[in-house]
Structure 1
Amino acid sequence: MKTIIFIFVLLLVAVTEAFAQSSDKMSSDEIVLACGYDTAKIAVIKFTPAFSDRFPAEVSPVYLNCTDFRWIDTLVVRAINTHNFHMENWLQQARGIDSSSLNYKRQYLAVVTLNGEKLVWANFLCSVYHFDWKKVALDVADGGKCYFNVLLNLITMSFSPLSVNGSAFTPAHHRSFAEAGACWLRPVK
């Protein structure tokens, strides 16, 4: 029995290593698909210096693997639940997020710090208008809970507080304007 377990672990390590080595040759869509995720909802955007303000220290780009995607899912749900738990009741409708139905497009930017910590900036968008959201990270002003982001640490399994966009409109107007997509989008260059 120990031999079977040892062989299984050895095969698992070999497959994981082979995937890691081939991931630098794969497009972000191929990596997302290989891990069983929907490319219509998730885009992995390669880090460039234009994104450095999203991360706390000097960082370098890094590839995500299938295990990373699973940890991202877990941490995002934890971050949303923590966000909702600490929110005042009157804010729940405007800024609370339902973690059970995340119908958002997601942009992931993955980096590694000098200390070896793998960080992922996860950007959630309910509407992308005409922008190529799979190649360009979008910075959105307003729009309420239609847009939010969070910084995840896949090594320490921690996350920053959720950053949910505000709304420039009064609560009475919030629903109609948010449903119409009232916000300002701009690509990060």
Structure 2
Amino acid sequence: MSKKITQIILISLISCLLACNSESHKTAIEIPPRLIQTDTTNRTQFIAIIDDSAIKKNIQLTKNDLSIIDQQIKIAVSNYNVEREQYLKKIRLEDPKTTIKREDLFIDLKNYKRQYVAHINAKKQKEVWVNCFCSNEGNDEWKSKIIEVRDGGKCYFNLRIIIEQKSYYEFMVNGKA
């Protein structure tokens, strides 16, 4: 009996690995639409707050939390853009005829939609995973599904924010194909 279970698990894992390495670059994890809240307290209307159905606990984000999240995103993006500025200067020194422009490298937050997934971490702190992507991305699917994309460059980035510490970590910008 355990041999059969082992075979089923092995087949499932292989199927998953093959599916994960398929040509499709975009996947979405279904989140029941009843869990979606659109943030109307922020200046932008391009934010969806999505409950993490895996933890079965609704973590509310206050206006103060949203302000901290916004601040930390701006800090992370500013740090990223400073690094990109240094990179661009280096490229221009090495190749004065380069056609790379600032807008090709820099993140401008006004061009992005955001998804927030809040949870309580292992240290009992409110933590938010922030998923950002270019606002020209698709239809309203992003309000009910977490958008995951391989590649895509600066058009897709995410980070984690610990509200109580007013800090971020794991800032990651997707690579280019």
Q: CA RMSD in A?
A: 2.7
Aligned residues: 129
Query: Relative to 1, partners in 2 of residues 1:36 and 1:95: Cα closer, same or farther, differing over 3 Å?
Result: closer
Confirm or deny that 1:48 pairs with 2:53. yes
Contact 2:159 / 2:168 at 8 angstroms: preserved in 1?
yes
Q: Distance in 2 between matches of 1:129 and 1:27?
A: 18
Contact 2:116 2:131 in 1 (8 A): yes
Q: 1:63 is matched with which residue?
A: 60
The correspondence for 2:152, drawn from 124, 143, 148, is: 143
Displacement of 1:128 in angstroms is 2.7
Do the aligned partners of residues 131 and 27 (structure 1) sit closer, same or farther apart at CA in structure 2, a change above 3 Å counting? Answer: closer
Percent of aligned positions that are identical: 30
Q: 1:134 and 2:161 equivalent?
A: no
**Shift of residue 139 of structure 1?**
0.3
CA positional deviation for 1:158? 1.2
Q: Give the Cα–Cα distance (whole angstroms) in 2 for the partners of residues 104 and 85 of structure 1.
A: 19
Query: Quick one: structure 1 residues 80 and 27, their matched pair in 2 at CA, closer, same or farther if it must change by over 3 Å?
Result: closer
Structure 1 pair 27–150 and aligned structure 2 pair: CA distance change class (3 A): closer
1:160 Cα offset (Å): 1.3
User: Equivalent residue for 2:169?
Assistant: 160
Measure the CA separation in 1 of the matches of 2:36 and 2:76: 28
Please, which runs of 5 or more residues in structure 2 have no aligned partner? 1-34, 92-99
Which structure carries more strand by proportion?
2
**Secondary structure of the structure 1 residue equivalent to 2:144:** coil
Specify the SS of the correspondent of 1:163: strand
Give, in angstroms, the shift of residue 27 of structure 1.
6.0
Give the alignment partner of residue 107 of structure 2, picking from 97, 104, 120.
97
| More contact order relative to length (CA 8 Å, sep ≥ 6) | 2
Question: Is residue 110 of structure 1 aligned with residue 118 of structure 2?
Answer: yes
2:161–2:168 CA contact under 8 A, matched in 1: yes
Larger-gyration structure (1/2): 2
| Runs (5+) with no aligned partner, structure 1 | 1-25, 53-58, 169-189
The within-5 A match list for 1:13-92 is 28-29=37-38, 32-33=39-40, 35-39=41-45, 41-49=46-54, 61-87=58-84, 88-89=87-88, 90=91
- For the residue of structure 2 that corresponds to 1:64, the secondary structure is coil
Contact 2:42 2:66 in 1 (8 A): no
TM-score, length of structure 1 as denominator length: 0.59
